[in-house]
Amino acid sequence: MSETATSLESDADWPRNYFNYFTAIEEHFQKARGTGLFLMSPLDWALIESWKNSGVPLEAVLKGVDDAFEKWRSRKQKRRLVNSVAYCTQAVMEAAQRTPASREGGVHASDAPFEAGELGAFLSNAASAVGQRPEAEFREIAEALVALAGKADEHVTKLEDLERHLTVLEEKLVAAVRMSQTAEALYALREKLDRELRPYRGKMTADQLSMLERRYLDTALLEQAKLPRLSLFYLN
């Protein structure tokens, strides 16, 4: 399944499933870890996003987290705490193979997690941030966000369609930022990613690693450029 908004659920069960996916995994991992508040790293969020975009069922992720911690706790020697969701990757993939894809009950547009005003403000703020860059490609993206913000009342009832538009704009935004970076800066980001991924590479397939690397680097590039993520998940 491609890593685009086309992999999202239909309007019948979106956006509730989309937003619940991230928050449910975060809360479940924190509970399984059992050490109070635990802040997810950029690597954790990129991994969860890659699972979501790959269609890994939420049930499989939660079961995989439980299985991974059960195995960890059964060890006689525990050298260190589990400090990343990536530790659970192999267990999640094994659980996904045993879990049929499922769909939750439908929701209505009135169940959207935010109002039209909040949506419009999110899009306008994103446009303002992107528009600070003088290059033509950034101005074009900012203008598109302004246009979307102006129709927030319409988009709040068609969130899946809006997310598709935002995915396209974010891809263009990341590409523009990447072109503006020096080879040395891009190398430094890659080096940092490789360090963080090193303990987990043996637990992931080549496809999983490729998707995770892309999500991580895209997010890191935007953060470094002080530009926002455009997905509706980041509205909350």
C-alpha–C-alpha distance, residues 5 and 202, integer Å: 28
| Residue 3 maps to a domain | no
Same domain, 231 and 116: yes
Same domain for 70 and 124, yes or no, is: no
The DSSP-derived string for 20-65 is HHHHHHHHHHHHHHTSS--PPPHHHHHHHHHHHHHT--HHHHHHHH
Whether 128 and 231 map to the same domain: the answer is yes
* Residues 164 and 6 sit within 8 Å (Cβ to Cβ): yes
Q: Using one digit for the tens of pLDDT, what is the confidence trace for 94-126?
A: 888 887 654 443 334 445 567 889 889 999 999
Q: Are residues 87 and 143 in the same domain?
A: no
Residue 232 near residue 161, CB atoms below 8 Å: no
Contact (Cβ atoms closer than 8 angstroms) between residue 130 and residue 145: yes
- For residue 1, being part of any structural domain is answered with no
CA quadruple 65, 71, 73, 79: dihedral sign: negative
Mean pLDDT, residues 150-170? 86
Residues 229 and 118 in one domain: yes
Look up residue 194 and give its two tokens.
């490789």
pTM over 0.75: no
pLDDT band at 8 (very low <50, low <70, confident <90, very high): very low
Average pLDDT estimate for 4-27: 56
Note whether 116 and 187 are same-domain residues. Answer: yes
Residues 18-55 have pLDDT tens digits of 567 787 888 888 888 886 666 677 778 778 887 887 77
pLDDT of 128: 95
Looking at the structure, tell me whether residues 122 and 90 fall in a common domain: no
Rounded Cα distance, 47 and 176, in Å = 23
Among the three residues 43, 72, 98, which one is the final residue of a domain in this structure? Answer: 98
Tally of domains in the chain: 2
Question: 219: domain range?
Answer: 110-235
Q: Give the integer Cα–Cα distance in Å for 113 and 106.
A: 14
Of 98, 123, 151, which residue sits at a domain end? 98
Instruction: Please tell me whether residues 130 and 77 are part of one structural domain.
Output: no
Are 216 and 114 part of one and the same domain? yes
> Of 160, 164, 148, whose CA–CA distance to 2 is shortest?
164
* 104 falls within a domain: no
Domain boundary among 98, 132, 151: 98
